[in-house]
Amino acid sequence: MPSFSSKVQIYSDAALTTLVHESGAISGPPTYIVPPATLQYNTRYYWRIAVTDAANEVTNSAVRSFITLLDTPVLVSPATEYESLVMSPDLTFSINPSTSNVLFHLLVGTAPGLTVGANTNLTTAVNPGSFTVNPVGLAVATKYWWTINAQVSDIAVFNNGENKQAATERTFYTPLDILTTPINGVTGHTLEPTFAWDDVVWETGYELRISTSGGNQTSFNNGVFFTDLNIAANTTSVMYNENTEDELTPGNFLLRNKSGNQWPKI
């Protein structure tokens, strides 16, 4: 039997002008495993076998093509249990190239076990250019789970419709953006104000602080002159009058000799 050996040749183009990888000489069983990190994800390659006989003559097989699998996206930020200060936080993920024909589904829900369709919050354009997405239509003061599902969207390729979902889900909380009364910036308000808000489902109680300063948290904290730290759960409003006494500073009354009060509740 004549002696011969073969090599696997992999190219990035149908014309076989750009060689991506060539194996060493194979003389045993006709099976070859491409080394790790040689090929890119979601990419079409062309391959053939080059057989060398005892006379050192080379015969090439017919050319075939294949497409590598789509990479699995990885959640990057924020860390799980994130307490967002905005209603639509930046949610960032990563994925290995190539993604020029890939779109991404942002999945968001109030319970784990997210699926495309039932929990699709938004779908990006193909090749969106950014791996940061911002959820829409969320409720205030709510815990959400989120993850990313990547999908090939290209009718010209064999793997059109292939999708991979991140292996993990993370959680975040929308802010307590729940103050309703008084309206921000109101003037000429009654001296016996009622403060009202939307109740949230997971609270164990509320605290209210009133300050003569605003603009940022530090300034607000420095100007606090009244606190009510024991408002019961499921309460949606409280009313104060000139005899309401500060819990932390007995003898300090809410509406005596104060003006321009700020009332964020935390």
- pLDDT confidence of residue 105: 98
Confidence (pTM): 0.69
Does residue 111 share a domain with residue 60? no
Domain match, 58 and 79 both: no
How far apart are alpha carbons 10 and 21 in whole angstroms? Answer: 5
Instruction: For the beta carbon of residue 65, count every other beta carbon within 10 angstroms.
Output: 11
Q: Does 80 lie in the same domain as 58?
A: no
Phi, psi dihedrals of residue 26, rounded to the nearest 5°: -115, 120
Total domains in the fold of the chain:
3
| Same domain assignment for residues 115 and 184 | no
Q: Does 164 lie in the same domain as 83?
A: yes
pLDDT of res. 218: 81
Q: Are 82 and 51 part of one and the same domain? A: no
Q: Is 222 helix (H, G, I), strand (E, B) or coil?
A: helix
Containing domain of residue 32, as a range? Answer: 4-67
- The 8-class DSSP code of residue 53 comes to E
pLDDT of 259: 40
Overall residue count recorded for the chain in this entry: 266
pLDDT less than 50: residues of the chain = 1, 253-266
Report the distance separating Cα 6 and Cα 96, nearest Å.
Answer: 32
pLDDT confidence of residue 227 = 80
Q: Measured between alpha carbons, how far is 125 from 122 in angstroms, rounded to an integer?
A: 10
Q: Are 142 and 207 members of one domain?
A: no
- 181 CB neighbour count, 10 Å cutoff: 13
Residue 11 and residue 99 share a domain = no
Tens-digit pLDDT profile for residues 109-120: 999 999 999 999
Structure confidence by residue, pLDDT tens digits, 11-70: 999 999 999 999 999 987 788 999 999 999 999 999 999 999 888 899 999 999 999 999
Domain end: 67, 94, 118, which one?
A: 67
Both 94 and 167 in one domain: the answer is yes
Residue 264 has a CB neighbour count (10 Å cut-off) of: 15
